[in-house]
Structure 1
Amino acid sequence: MPGITRAAMAALSLTMATGSVALDSHQSPYLGQVPPGDTPKLFAPGMVNTGAVELNSVFSPDGKEFFFTRMIDGPDEQQGYPGKGRLILFHTTFSYGGWNPPKSLRLYPGSPHTWAADMSLSPDGQRLYFMGPYEPETGGEGNLNIWVSEKGEDGAWQPASPLPAPINTDAQEVYSSVIADGSLYFTTYANGDGDASRDGLHRAQAKVGGGFEAPVPVQIPGGNSVGDTFVAPDESYLIFSSERAGGIGGGDLYISYRAADGSWGAPINMGPEVNTERLDYCPVVSRDGKYFFFSRRTSEPANGGWRKVVAGDVYWMSADIIERLRP
């Protein structure tokens, strides 16, 4: 085969043997995708975005693992959306010069239950946090809680366990974001029990030696309509999804910058570069600060929520927008 180098032949042989997608090393951090500019583009069509409903996007600190969520169509008696399928964590790794096909992660101990979404990673990449409704005592579904899986010495993710109180409560705890010191941001919904003070974004300080202090509410101007929150590792800004008045679509992404006194500034709509008439949600900024990832979801009717979802995709764009919007 004239023109094919020995190295290329080796890469081709390895790809055929392992089933991975061979990529140049400089491409590997982002599944071999051409970096985007200021216009959002679909991330990894055919591998992440497949025509199913996909959401979430988290890379490990070393760039060799990628996590996302996919809704698998069809009824499932163990899941929360009868007739619409189930949300499942998917995971792909970079090895032997290529990205391996994504595989589902089943992390509930001793159970085939799979409903899980909205993952985040600890700064060292050794703990995977995610949201799920699994109820260990009954084997069925209960409140949404935050779970954590530890990475084993062999690199495999171990059976997960729910975070203990005071993180998980009798309310719904969802969508975690871990900052540089290991502290945890997450959102609580109080199940309509009348105590609206429990709703909204919370922060739990990481303890030396493990665990968390009691979570405290995070005050964002404009009310507690704050969901799917990503917090910068240094807590200099946060991005969240909200259906607050004045938005562009069914739910927009907003950014709030932290002031010198520690308070959070008035949320800024991220504008038509990001937001559409669809639901724009699940924001994440890559660990190197270069790229902004988020998800879009379409339901019919628009207010149909997850039970009426018809489309969902993961997008990415340059993270320069974060500085352009800074007051």
Structure 2
Amino acid sequence: MNIDIIPIKQLENGGEIMGKILTKIAVVICLLMLPFASAQANERKSYEMPRTEVAPIQESGTDRQYELYIKLPEDYAENTDARYPVIYTTDAEVHMDMLSGSTEFLMPEVIVVGISWQKNLGDERENASRFRDYSFVKHNNAELQERFHFGQASNHLSFIRNQVIKYVETNYRADPDERSYFGYSMGGGFGTFVLLSEPDTFKHYILGSPSRYQRAIDFFDDLEAKTAVQHKGQSANVFVSIGERENQMENMRTLTSLLKRRSGSGVALAGLEIIEDSDHGTAFPETVIRSVKWLAKLNTVTKPYLGQKLPGLTPEAFAPGLVSTDRWEYGGVFSPDMKEFYLLKDDEKEKTSFVVFQYESGEWRESVISQRVGQPFISPDGKTMHLGKRYKERTETGWSEIRNLGGQFEDIRVMRLTASTEGTYYFDEVGTDGDGQIRYSRLVDGKREDPRLASEAINTGTWLAHPFIAPDESYILWDGRREGGFGSSDIYLSFRQKDGSWGDAINLGDKINTDAWEASASVTPDGKYLFFHRMVSEGNVDIFWVDAQIVENLRAQQ
């Protein structure tokens, strides 16, 4: 080894040479330390799913400890006014990864909640508690029954209903009307048990390759028969899947037939989804993707009403700057799924266009459909868009071309036509000099009857127009001029009486009606808000909205 000897005299000449020496030493030390730094950088740690929180939870009345894995949408922190749909899943330890990945792209605005297996069971099998929690009949093998305690699904359901859901909806902005369940294998069987015994637990059910051994089928058949009357009218959407190469296919078809028996009571079964060329294991990933796609089409918006701040009992302009501007906007209506908002809107050249705002991928997007058409109204089932005496029908690819009602309506001038769930039409017959009238036409045994005049309770006054019939026909809204009114046109309300007649007309009052022109009132399909338009100034008509509680308050006074 060669060592350079530096004379002391050189050191005495200044610190320049010493600085060079120290620099060389520092470089050598850094090189020697690199392996240690690299070792520290390579220390392993557990993976954490982004935007996911872990909440310990103990089942009441027991010492059973579980965990909830709660994954939040990317915009959860920013979108503070939104309430989000929730997907609950059992077998969280094996389901969360797939559900997280698929919802990230297919349903980005959803909360995913995984319910773990019991954490303090002490069994050598990590998933041992699922045999107890997800099963609804005892095992016929005494040794296995003694070890795993099969048949306690009802206890686990109570835990989920009374604790898990309550915890999530108390601590997070979860939409209680948009709960979904995902279960696979035994978890799918548990979901079937929930659907038949307490269907209101969730709105949407995904049952992947559910338990279908003969004792399970017999149990479900008996449970469905026992609870059918009790749960009549409780709606739910159901997705069922199975791998093409799985066994007990005939029992699977029996199970879906059993679920179809609930179709008359509000259960909508999407059919049996066959996962091609798949067995019980390989069908799982495809089940996740297909079911989330299905769910995304059903799910509600997280930015309802175009993301606007909700009004109270005092009317406010709807979506200022976006919908309500300094020009004419009128005839605004939502589709039944609340994902589309249609209106007639003037541009800067005072040209009226038929416009729609559509909710896609978490955002509202505006587009022009066509030039001016009749005032839009969408039937309660969402299948028909009425445009006065013309209409469009919903197809797989969108709305059809405009068609004419024809027949009894051919010679009637109609501005607005609305329809009830039973198919009854209420519409205005445009007159001259304010002598228009409100008419109706019922659907009797599948045939459209000739239009008739509504009763005098409605057809009193002048400029009668723009009726809105409630889906259940319990009330009707319209506008016109009457003695004692507030302005050029007021909005009125009448409730259906016990004998089927219409009650006295009720002016909606000075919060709704002013000395200006108010017209075209309707209530949103979810029943929460009343929309109407008002002439704010000459050449400026805006759409307003107000809490629909105003209708219920007047109903309570009857």
TM over 0.5: yes
Match of residue 32 from structure 1: 307
Partner of 1:128: 385
Residues 1:234 and 2:472 are matched in the alignment:
yes
Counterpart in the other structure of 1:295: 533
Runs of 5+ unmatched residues, structure 2: 1-49, 52-71, 79-107, 111-299
String of CA shifts for 1:96-148, please: whole Å, max 9, x gaps: 11111x22222xxxxxxx232311111221211113xxxxxxxxxxxxxx110
Give the C-alpha shift of residue 46 in structure 1. Answer: 2.3
1:188 aligns with 2:453: no
Indicate the SS of the match to 1:151.
strand
In 1, the alpha carbon distance for the partners of 2:525 and 2:471 equals 9
Is 1:92 paired with 2:336? no
Q: What are the residue-to-residue correspondences of 1:238-257 with 2, within 5 Å?
A: 238-257=476-495
Structure 1 position 105 matched with structure 2 position 369: yes
Q: Which residue of 1 aligns with 2:448?
A: 212
Counterpart AA for 2:323: V
2:408 aligned partner = 166
Equivalent residue of 1:166, what SS? helix
Residue 323 of structure 1 aligns to a residue whose secondary structure is helix
AA matched with 2:460: G
Q: Which of the pair is proportionally richer in strand?
A: 1
Residues 50/28 of structure 1: CA separation in 2 closer, same or farther (3 Å cut): same
Q: Which residue of 1 aligns with 2:375?
A: 118
Task: Name which one, 1 or 2, has greater alpha-carbon Rg.
Answer: 2
Q: Which residue of 2 aligns with 1:313?
A: 542
Partner in structure 1 of residue 21 of structure 2:
none
User: 1:283–1:293: 8 Å Cα contact kept in structure 2?
Assistant: yes
Match of 2:74 among 8, 15, 20: 8
- Give the alignment's TM-score, normalised by structure 2: 0.44
Tell me the amino acid that sits aligned with residue 489 of structure 2. Answer: G
Distance across 1 between alignment mates of 2:368 and 2:348: 14
How far did 1:242 drift? 0.8
Query: Quick one: distance in 2 between partners of 1:235 and 1:251?
Result: 23
Task: Within 5 Å, give how 1:34-113 maps onto structure 2.
Answer: 34-74=309-349, 85-100=350-365, 102-106=366-370
Q: How many pairs are equivalent? A: 266
Is 1:201 equivalent to 2:443 in the alignment? no
1:177 aligned to which of 418, 422, 432:
418
Which residue is 1:149 aligned to?
392
Q: Aligned partners of 1:149, 1:249: CA distance in 2, in Å?
A: 35
Name the structure, 1 or 2, with higher relative contact order (CA <8 Å, separation 6+). Answer: 1
TM norm structure 1: 0.74
Residue identity matched to 2:403: S
1:236-256 deviation digits (Å, cap 9, x = unpaired):
111111122221111111111
Aligned AA (2:473): E
In 1, Cα distance between the equivalents of 2:302 and 2:508? 28
Compared CA separation, residues 23 and 72, structure 1 to 2 (3 A)? farther
The 2-side partners of 1:164 and 1:224 are apart by 29
CA change 1:64–1:248 in 2 (3 A) is same
Does the 8 A contact of 1:220 with 1:266 survive in 2? no
Give aligned-pair identity as a percent. Answer: 31
Q: What do the CA deviations read for 1:293-315 (whole angstroms, capped 9, x no partner)? A: 11102464xxxxxxxxx111011
Compute the displacement of 1:23 (Å).
8.0
Greater fraction helix: 2
**What displacement does 1:158 show?**
1.8
Q: Would you say the 8 A contact 1:227–1:240 is kept in 2?
A: yes
**Aligned partners of 2:451, 2:461: CA distance in 1, in Å?**
16
For the Cα contact (< 8 Å) 1:220–1:265, is it kept in 2?
A: no
Gap regions ≥5 residues in structure 1: 13-21, 75-84, 107-113, 132-145, 301-309
CA RMSD between the two structures: 2.7
Q: 2-side partners of 1:54 and 1:202: how far apart?
A: 26
